[in-house]
Structure 1
Amino acid sequence: MVRPIHGGNLDWAAEIAGCAPDDILDFSASINPLGIPPSAIALIRDNIDTLQHYPDPSYHKLRKALADHHGVTPEQIVVGNGAAELLTWGAYEGSKLTDFYLPSPCFADYRRAVKTFEIPTKFYPLDALEKGFKEDTSPSGLIINNPHNPTGKLWDKPTLQRHLNKFALVIIDEAFMDFITPEYAPSLIDLVTDYPNLIVVRSLTKFYAIPGLRLGYAITNPQRCQTWQQWRDPWSVNNFASLVGETVIKDQEFQQKTYQWLTPARIALENALKQNPLFAPLPSAVNFLLVKTKIPSSQLQQKLLKQSQILIRDCLSFPELGDDFFRIAIRTPQENQRLIDALNMAYDP
């Protein structure tokens, strides 16, 4: 099988490990380890008959639930088959621009989206968001992910807001913002009304552990939402995804459990990694850690799979990082300890 460019490919990992996919402990995909919210499981079980019907093509109830959650109007929201679909439409809208500025290191789907429409790209170092861009960027597009993947870095709101007047189109990918407690989350959603060039993309799949359902949404000006709705294929969001989205966005009990789990689990895993001189984790605000390694990450990945049936994310798909880094999700304390034990066993000095 071809080496995947994204995390979470358990079939590929199981083939290397010589086991069933369900036997793999997956640290490569940054998904909430608390699992699917019970509210979502019950909803799917009790609504199996909805498979007999087409979804509402306007997704009115889902957009209303999301709008109420974020304090915007339903007309400012368009839903999609994961954030990836919405990134594609964002790139299509920007296809007449001079170029797109992408972060370095860069989530692979940004390159995929702009390459689809043959848009010239420029890569900016992450500190450019704080220091500024020296060249004229007025006819250009800008993509920012905040929190940043794969480093876990989080920028404050004023740092990002000042770029909204300099670029013709700004896409803020906030796929991991839900992992920041609301009172500290520097989202730009409340600026959408004032900046017609701003698109904020969100994902429900990571926080609510439903990547198989594929559900994301964009918050932007109503005219753009109407345009995208006309471009897209009908019914790109299935009935289960729509119903689950309406429900989990209101599930405060699950949200609080996630916040209570994440911070202590991340601190403990980071401190445990620091005890091994081969590894140096970078500070992170979210549910994953980027780790500098003295052992090539692709070699380490293979060893962990074969010896311990554990999958980590190598960084070969990030050219700036390559074999010098790997990325790991934050999982439960017990699972995190299993990873630490496996790392120490694989390279015991």
Structure 2
Amino acid sequence: MERVDMLFLGQPNNPNGVQYPVETLHRLARKAEITGTILVVDEAFMDFIPESQRQSLAPRLKEYPQVIIIRSMTKFYAIPGLRLGYALGRPELIHAMTEKQVTWSVNGLALIAGEACLQSGENFEQETMALVSYERERLTTGLEALGCERGILIRSCAMYLGLGERHVRFAVKDAEANGRLLETMENVMEPDTTTGLKAGGQNDGTAIL
């Protein structure tokens, strides 16, 4: 990090959802202070992690003058078009960011939506966490039952370090979307009784594979 001005780190990582141990984050934060590197920890998906399992520097952020945590409200609250988020950091670091902030960086509609999200209360958070947990398990179980362990190209993950074109990226969405995915994959992977080969379904504009 000696010659690095700014280091971005996804926590949890996208697309595999893995978290770096908090001890690793503390070690990087201390190193950043020595080298003068700004450590930006992207916690856009942290809200989907149960609070007891979160590996975050947020509780001890005041100890690290070189660390900024950025979070998104568009993921958990499903408002992607409004581009709303916030940053956590030492006052002097946030002030320096504010001086570079462009005019009208957040529009009025996004602010109204953000306030509504924050007023949604614990029920929304609990229901969302329960839904994602249930649908993730249902989706995983369904895909495993279809034998979908590898070899079906949905979207190339070759751009991700450590992954390749034979890796598939799925998102846990609502029940209807997840059901549609499983149904489509079942149709695509249904053996052709005449050839014994895997046959693809008709393209009626609704298939996602």
Q: CA deviation at 1:320?
A: 4.5
Instruction: Measure the CA separation in 2 of the matches of 1:321 and 1:346.
Output: 24
**2:55 paired residue among 181, 186, 194:** 186
For each residue in 1:154-198, what CA deviation from the matched residue of structure 2 results, as whole angstroms up to 9, or x when unmatched? Answer: 233223222211232211100000112223322221222110010
| TM-score, scaled relative to structure 2 | 0.80
> Which has the higher Rg, Structure 1 or Structure 2?
2
**1:152 paired residue among 17, 22, 26:** 17
Report the residue type matching 2:57 in the other structure: L
**1:341 paired residue among 183, 189, 202:** 183
- 1:1-349 map, 5 Å: 137-140=1-4, 141-167=6-32, 168-252=37-121, 253-277=123-147, 279-280=148-149, 293-295=150-152, 297=153, 301=154, 313-318=155-160, 320-349=162-191
Report the residue type matching 2:179 in the other structure: Q
Identify if the C-alpha distance between structure 1 residues 249 and 184 changes in structure 2 by more than 3 Å, giving closer, same or farther: farther
Instruction: Measure the CA separation in 2 of the matches of 1:173 and 1:161.
Output: 15
Q: CA deviation at 1:319?
A: 6.2
Instruction: Measure the CA separation in 2 of the matches of 1:157 and 1:210.
Output: 29
Instruction: Measure the CA separation in 2 of the matches of 1:190 and 1:250.
Output: 23
For each residue in 1:122-153, what CA deviation from the matched residue of structure 2 results, as whole angstroms up to 9, or x when unmatched? Answer: xxxxxxxxxxxxxxx34434321111101111
For each residue in 1:313-339, what CA deviation from the matched residue of structure 2 results, as whole angstroms up to 9, or x when unmatched? Answer: 442543643421221111233432221
Report the residue type matching 1:244 in the other structure: A
Higher strand share: 1
Identity of aligned residues (%): 34
- The structure showing larger relative contact order (alpha-carbon pairs under 8 Å, at least 6 residues apart) is 1
Please state whether the residue corresponding to 2:169 is helix, strand or coil.
strand
Please state whether the residue corresponding to 2:93 is helix, strand or coil.
helix
Instruction: Measure the CA separation in 2 of the matches of 1:235 and 1:169.
Output: 25
Identify if the C-alpha distance between structure 1 residues 319 and 156 changes in structure 2 by more than 3 Å, giving closer, same or farther: closer
Instruction: Measure the CA separation in 2 of the matches of 1:318 and 1:186.
Output: 22
Instruction: Measure the CA separation in 2 of the matches of 1:143 and 1:259.
Output: 26
**Number of residue pairs matched?**
185
Larger deviation, residues 166-175 vs 315-324:
315-324
Instruction: Measure the CA separation in 2 of the matches of 1:194 and 1:328.
Output: 37
- Aligned CA RMSD, in angstroms, stands at 1.9
Gapped runs of 5+ residues in structure 1?
Answer: 1-136, 281-292, 302-312
